[in-house]
Amino acid sequence: MTRSARSAAAVLSQAPTSPPEESASGSSAERSLRLLALLANEGRALSLADLAARLSLPKGTAHRICAQLLAGGFLARDVDERSFSVGPALRQLAFDTLNHGVVRGLRHEVLAELVRQVGETCNFTTIDGVQVLYLDRVEAQWPLRLTLDVGSHVPLHCTASGKLFLARLPPAERDALIERITLTRMTANTITSAAKLRAECDAIAKQGYSCDREEFIAGLIAVAVPVAAASGEVRAAIAVHAPTARMTLDDAVERIDALRSAAARMSGLL
């Protein structure tokens, strides 16, 4: 295991252990994860007796968990067949987890480069149920800006990314979703009519990008473009937004080529 994986595993392995009777009633998944975390943190093989004692598990329970993890490749027998070490599936999981961090870094760099080109804050989003989820964001270095943390949710019906996601859905699925969401008026420009929102989605589908005309926050405009997977499915969006004091909507639309170029780079990182 890598140092990063062992460090993460240490947090799990150092959690307070429960008495045998409580551990026995815990979920099988939890016990399996605690066993793997212990082995990863130790960095050496442990016997069945050691595992059972360290985790306050009955030997029979520890044996059953080890058998299941062996079958899945998450554990492997050591030179001493009575001891267990991490298996190839666990090593691959650790590698994939670290690689995921690399991909996130590459995505962030795409956004950072886009911000350098357009001079305003850009974000990377996806649809999450009936809301938009911020996956990443790079702020422009201006004193006047809106701050939304990664992990924040915003509405579908009044944001550039949200309306873009709606527009790319099949019509029947889009109509059903519009019926589910509450079209709350956020500003004087917010679309609160289902019929008008459907018409807006039709227009967005034709032009290939979406605009927020101060519909979410008064004084703030945005333009969003789709990020498509290799299959053609739109799984994310890239958007630029700015206060109208610095950028008009027409100015933002003029930067559409830079947004689309960034979206093309981002599509390879989905």
Q: What is the pLDDT of residue 258?
A: 97
Residue bearing tokens 């001079």: 119
- 100-267 belongs to CATH 3.30.450.40: yes
Evaluate the CA torsion angle 98, 45, 84, 19 in order and state its sign. negative
Q: How confident is the model at residue 82 (pLDDT cuts 50, 70, 90)?
A: confident
The tens digit of pLDDT for each residue in 32-67 reads 999 999 998 888 899 999 999 999 999 999 999 999
Residues forming a β-bridge with 132: 127, 154
Same fold, 3-86 and 100-267: no
The tens digit of pLDDT for each residue in 127-185 reads 988 899 988 999 887 765 566 777 788 999 999 999 999 999 999 999 999 998 999 99
Can you name the CATH fold of 3-86?
Arc Repressor Mutant, subunit A (1.10.10)
Distance CA 47, CA 78 (A): 9
CB-hemisphere CA count at 13 Å for 259? 29
The tens digit of pLDDT for each residue in 84-133 reads 999 888 888 876 676 567 788 898 999 999 999 999 999 999 998 889 99
How many other CB atoms are there within 10 angstroms of residue 41's CB atom? 18
Give me the mean pLDDT over the 219-235 stretch. 92
Q: What is the pLDDT of residue 145?
A: 57
Walk across the sheet containing 220-228 and list its strands. Answer: 153-155, 131-138, 121-128, 234-243, 220-228, 210-213
Domain boundaries, the chain: 3-86, 100-267
Give me the mean pLDDT over the 178-203 stretch. 96
**Bridge-based pairing state of the strands 220-228 and 210-213:** antiparallel
Q: What is the pLDDT of residue 253?
A: 96
Instruction: State how far the alpha carbon of 78 is from the alpha carbons of 59, 68, 84, 85, 146, in Å.
Output: 19, 16, 5, 6, 55
Confirm if 187 and 218 have CB atoms less than 8 A apart.
yes
